[in-house]
Structure 1
Amino acid sequence: MKYIPFILFTVFTNAAAQLMLKYGMMTMGPLTFAGVNPVIKILQIVFSPWIFAGLCVFVISMASHLFVLSKVELSFAYPFLSLAYVAVAILAYLLWCEDLNAYRIAGIALICAGTVLIAHSGRKAEETSMAAKAIETERSIIR
């Protein structure tokens, strides 16, 4: 449970990156490759300020996720990333008036409920891990 703040940092930087990427693409206008070298167009997209910032924040999010994966089980950490869907849906609604209908709200509620269940499962795993370490320490002292 002590790694939850790092997991949440990963979630929120992931959500922030997605929002920056969306805003960057909105500022670019309609995406067309007609009469333009595709490589040049891709470079224009990647190096537009909001897209570039979003990609950088996404790299930070991935670095944070790698740190988390070095500390906790994947089956515990990975489902938390679904909270980014929740944050993105709510912020997209607030920022750009994107649709947030009853089905999406129900899906968000299910995601939150699932994440709470997974978070509680981590307590038992952490307690078991701590107990195993204590037993191993006792064995090494006895020897």
Structure 2
Amino acid sequence: MKFLPFILFTVLTNAAAQLMLKHGMMSLGPLSFEGVNPAIKVLQIVFSPWVFLGLCIFVISMASHLYVLSKVELSFAYPFLSLAYVAVAVFAYFVFREDLNAWRIAGIALICVGTVLIAQSDRSGHEDGTKLAAAPLKTSEISK
């Protein structure tokens, strides 16, 4: 639980990046590559303000995630990223007026329940959120 703030920071920056990317792509309008060099079009997309900001925030999110992975088990940290879907779905409903129907709400509830269960699994771990690893197997032991 010690690294939960870093995990949540990763989740929130991931969600923020997705929302910025969506806003950027909406501001560009429907994409068309007709009569345009695809490389030039990709550069126009990447360097449009909201898309560029979203990509920068995504890099920050990935750096945070790498830090988290250096401190806790992957099977503990990675499922928390599903909370980014929850945040994106809720914010997309309010900001972009996207649909949030009963099926999506049920899925969001299941994601939240699953994440709480995974968070509870760390209570039996060590103070720093890691577990003691078993002795590594030698190559000769694998073939037995």
- TM-score, with length taken from structure 2: 0.88
Alignment map for 1:89-108 (pairs within 5 Å): 89-108=89-108
**What is the CA deviation profile of residues 55-79 of structure 1, one whole-angstrom value per residue up to 9, with x for unaligned ones?**
0000000000000000000000000
| Amino acid in structure 2 at the alignment position of 1:75 | S
Question: Quick check: 1:126 aligned with 2:126?
Answer: yes
Q: Which runs of 5+ in 1 are unaligned?
A: 133-143
Q: CA RMSD in A?
A: 1.7
**What is the CA deviation profile of residues 25-62 of structure 1, one whole-angstrom value per residue up to 9, with x for unaligned ones?**
00000100000000000000000000000000000000
4+ runs deviating over 3 angstroms: 127-132
SS in 1 for 2:125: helix
Q: By how many angstroms is 1:130 displaced?
A: 8.1
More helix by percentage:
1
Alignment map for 1:1-143 (pairs within 5 Å): 1-126=1-126
In structure 1, distance between residues paired with 2:51 and 2:128: 43
Q: By how many angstroms is 1:17 displaced?
A: 0.1
Q: Which runs of 5+ in 2 are unaligned?
A: 133-144
SS in 1 for 2:39: helix
- Give % identity: 76
